[in-house]
Amino acid sequence: MFILPWQAPYDWAWMFDFLAGRTVEGVERFDFQTYTRSFSLDGHHGLMRATPDLSTQTLVVTLSDGLLPVKERCLQRLEQLFDLRCEPQQVSAALGELAAARPGLRLPGCVDAFEQGVRAILGQLVSVAMAARLTSRVAKAYGTPLEEAPEFICFPTPQQLVVADPLALKALGMPLKRAESLIHLAQAAISGELPLLPPRDVEAAMKTLQTFPGIGRWTANYYALRGWQAKDVFLPDDYLIKQRFPGMTPAQIRRYAERWQPWRSYALLHIWYSDGFQPG
């Protein structure tokens, strides 16, 4: 058992609701405030379980034996997924009134940046629920069953997905262009063209992502938000954001959001999840 600390306030109910709505069946599940998922890293495979303990302000983690050789990196990935290193008082001080209603909001990350890229592409122009179902189909078709828990599947690696037949991917329920985008993403992950660790220059890296087939500005920004857990990303052309800023162009919205630097990612979440927001 491992213990990871976090600072209060932390809105675990919101975080679990956010992630549960995007659960990829076969890869992850939620049971009674416990998150369980398969994970594969450098040839090591196993299960990770995480349960928040509100009384001690810690995340209680268990790793199956197969992951113990890479335990430090597994714990780091969970810290990233749940944004455990956030200092909420610092963010709230910068966002002011915007963060007052939900001071415990955190930025959901991921445990694997390539997986998050696949999720982002499959989430284009479909509902959150459909994106989760599509991702589950891809995982079951190309991932590897976990020997110690056959009901779980390790998410496909870039090496597994790069050899997929685009027509076979299309048959899972996606447009052919999207299938081809997934294969290119896998190629980019293998070649290093797709950064799997947070880049030094996030803006430049997002522009590079937009040169990939099938990845536009929204997808590149969302990938940076979740895959790299970039703290200062805003989506001015997001549908809901444009609704929250009626009468303003994306360029005007972008300029308005500059007031929340360097925490624009958190500002974005607060605006997404605050029905009463109105630009002042």
Instruction: Tell me which amino acid residue 170 is.
Output: K
Rounded Cα distance between 18 and 181, Å, is 26
Rounded Cα distance between 70 and 216, Å, is 35
Q: Does the active-site annotation cover 238?
A: yes
Rounded Cα distance between 213 and 62, Å, is 39
- Residue of 83, 112, 232, 238 marked catalytic: 238
Where does residue 165 rank: exposed (0-12), middle (13-18), buried (19+ CB within 10 A)?
Answer: exposed
Q: Which of 39, 113, 28, 35 is nearest to 71 (CA)?
A: 39
Rounded Cα distance between 107 and 269, Å, is 8
Rounded Cα distance between 139 and 128, Å, is 17
C-alpha distances in angstroms, 264 versus 16, 92, 197, 225, 231? Answer: 22, 12, 20, 10, 7
Q: What angle do CA 54, 113, 209 make, to 5 degrees?
A: 135
- 23 DSSP assignment: -
For residue 212, the SS3 value is coil
H-helix or E-strand containing 223?
helix 217-227
Which are the contacts of 119, defined by CB distance < 8 A and separation ≥ 6?
A: 22, 24, 110, 131, 135, 226
Across 17-27, b (16+ Cβ under 10 Å) vs e yields ebbeebbbebb
Q: Which residues are catalytic?
A: 238
